[in-house]
Structure 1
Amino acid sequence: MYDSPWWFDTTYFWRDYPVTDYTKSFKYYYLVQFAYWLQQIFVLQIEAPRKDYKELVMHHINTLLLISLSYCCNFTRVGNAVFVCMDLPDTILALAKALNYCLPGIVCNTTFGIMVVSWLYTRVYLFGCIILSTLTEPDLYVPQFVLHPPSGNWFPYFVKYIIAGLMIGLYFLILFWTLMIFKVIYRILTEPEAKDVRSDD
């Protein structure tokens, strides 16, 4: 994606719609994302429940709907940008959690700090920009809002609002978790042994 025109210009999400010529690796990446989030629903049933169990279920269902719709409706440029926004802080968060067990203290807290910065930039700011693009830019760049599957057009006007609505729902969940992150930061600064506020008590 880094060498794509939509890397820094969201208007390219919508220019030349529908885009149907994907590379194999792009297609595999999309389908692997779908498979990952599908299996995460099953993982939730096996794991010890967290305080945010309901929010996680809503997140996973919302994510699966967004991946499915964006893939079927040829909104994969937008979907790919969302994957990047979500995957970067997830990777750093997983590292911070692992470090919490083997290297607690300054190394773990520094990694957590890097995750917070990446979370705020990618999930709160950039994802917000993507939602804004979804609400405003198709009107400027998509020549016709039609449902015509033979030509790859799966974009009647109401679909924009379905996709945007799901993205806004996901954004509210992100804001909920952002609040939890700030609670962890507060505990790190005020308590000698802070822990994940989602942990089951």
Structure 2
Amino acid sequence: MLYPPWLWWERLWLPVNVSWSDLEDTENRVYAKASQLYHIFPFALGLLLLRYLFERFVAAPLADAWGVRDKARVPAEPHPVLEEYYCTRTRLPSQTEVLSLCKKSSWSERKIQLWFRRRRNQDRPGLRKRFCEASWRCAFYFCAFFGGVVALYDKPWVYDLREVWAGFPKQSLLPSQYWYYYSEMGFYLSLLLSLTFDVKRKDFNEQVIHHIATLTLLSFSWISNYIRIGTLVMAVHDSADILLEGAKVINYAKWNKAANIIFVVFTALFMLTRLVIFPFWLIHCTWVYPLELYPPFFGYYFFNIMLVVLQGLHIYWAVLISRMLFKSLFSTVRNYTYCMSMKLTGPAKGTTSSL
């Protein structure tokens, strides 16, 4: 046996007076099953292949058309001692370490610092790589979101959240829900599998936590048949992610004004979906409405705790996004003020040009 017997105790996963036998397929109903979670792996591998093809045959030609080029970088001079130190010890040596390397290499302190700076630049991902990655994520979120809209627009629980729990957990699985769920789970698993090859961002640790929490949440909701609320959570998340990745793509193409406009719209949508709709509609739906139907059980607490973890990440990212927006707007105002002062005073100090 690969798992402990208590793992599938009905009281962990299901409300009182409900057993696994109640969720067996019949002629009229089909239920989600834990054994189907293995389908995530072929979905993830398929998306990795699709990503490779997309980046090579769509994103790369688009980068060429929009003039996205990697900056020319001066390579670090080959040096076995410094290279070994760089790979095995640190990429950013302290002053003491630099002085020690001066003795080993017979180089000056300034030359060693320059070598490490150039060597770090060699490892930094190029602009085209970031462009291709953002293009893939933008394309996926676009397709996933509008696919989710098609799957959800005629469902009663979209317009009345109490319908999410109507008949729970004896809710038949729809084909659209299956494809929507496994596309999303396959995508986040593919992101985890490709973390070592992708551009490492500043919020790398938070991204790992987010992907793992998302996969855990979706897997648990699949087994416990929290699928209706799960589809709503996915749609709410994807809506803002389209604009975020789109802003990155436009920014890499040096269309700064368009990128700033998209980023402002993204910020507004992010705050609305992640700080208003998600906590006050969706989390409220999972905390309050189920208690009208059955007493709380382990799955109830576990699912809501995972939603709260995601909300904590939303707050963290909201702070980062607010800082970025402030810097962007402040920079725009500063540049505008500078340009106006140049028109009034002219390029030479003490002179006045005509308007």
How far residue 19 of structure 1 moved from its aligned partner, in angstroms, is 4.3
1:190 aligns with 2:330: yes
Corresponding residue number in structure 1 for 2:217 = 66
Which amino acid in 1 is paired with 2:285?
S
**1:111-190 → structure 2 map (5 Å cutoff):** 111-128=262-279, 129-140=281-292, 142=293, 144=294, 157-190=297-330
Check the 8 A contact 2:286/2:304 in 1, yes or no: yes
Which amino acid in 2 is paired with 1:88?
S
Corresponding residue number in structure 1 for 2:253 = 102
Matched residue of 1:44: which SS?
A: coil
The one of the two structures with greater contact order (alpha-carbon pairs below 8 A, sep at least 6) is 1
| CA separation of 1:121 and 1:19: change in aligned 2, threshold 3 A | farther
Check the 8 A contact 2:177/2:227 in 1, yes or no: no
Please list the CA deviations of residues 21-72 of structure 1 after superposition, one character each: whole Å capped at 9, or x if unmatched.
Answer: 2322221111111111111112222223222111111101000000001111
Corresponding residue number in structure 1 for 2:90 = none
Counterparts of 1:40 and 1:138, CA distance in 2:
33
Please list the CA deviations of residues 62-107 of structure 1 after superposition, one character each: whole Å capped at 9, or x if unmatched.
Answer: 0000000111100001000001110010111111111112252221
Matched residue of 1:50: which SS?
A: coil
Q: Name stretches of at least 5 consecutive residues in structure 1 with no aligned partner.
A: 146-155, 193-201
Counterparts of 1:106 and 1:48, CA distance in 2:
25
Q: Which moved more, 1:174-183 or 1:94-103?
A: 94-103
Which amino acid in 2 is paired with 1:190?
F
* Root mean square deviation, CA, Å: 1.5
Corresponding residue number in structure 1 for 2:158 = 7
Matched residue of 2:153: which SS?
A: coil
Normalising by structure 2, what TM-score?
0.49
Counterparts of 2:236 and 2:157, CA distance in 1:
14
Corresponding residue number in structure 2 for 1:53 = 204
User: How many correspondences in the alignment?
Assistant: 180
Please list the CA deviations of residues 145-201 of structure 1 after superposition, one character each: whole Å capped at 9, or x if unmatched.
Answer: 6xxxxxxxxxx7121110000000010001101111001101111225xxxxxxxxx
Which amino acid in 2 is paired with 1:182?
S
Q: Name stretches of at least 5 consecutive residues in structure 2 with no aligned partner.
A: 1-151, 333-355
Counterparts of 1:10 and 1:138, CA distance in 2:
11
Which amino acid in 1 is paired with 2:286?
T
Which amino acid in 1 is paired with 2:156?
P
Matched residue of 2:221: which SS?
A: helix
Matched residue of 1:46: which SS?
A: coil
Counterparts of 1:136 and 1:9, CA distance in 2:
14
Which amino acid in 2 is paired with 1:169?
V
Normalising by structure 1, what TM-score?
0.84
Which amino acid in 2 is paired with 1:138?
P
Counterparts of 2:153 and 2:269, CA distance in 1:
17
1:30 aligns with 2:181: yes
Larger radius of gyration: 2
Counterparts of 1:26 and 1:133, CA distance in 2:
19
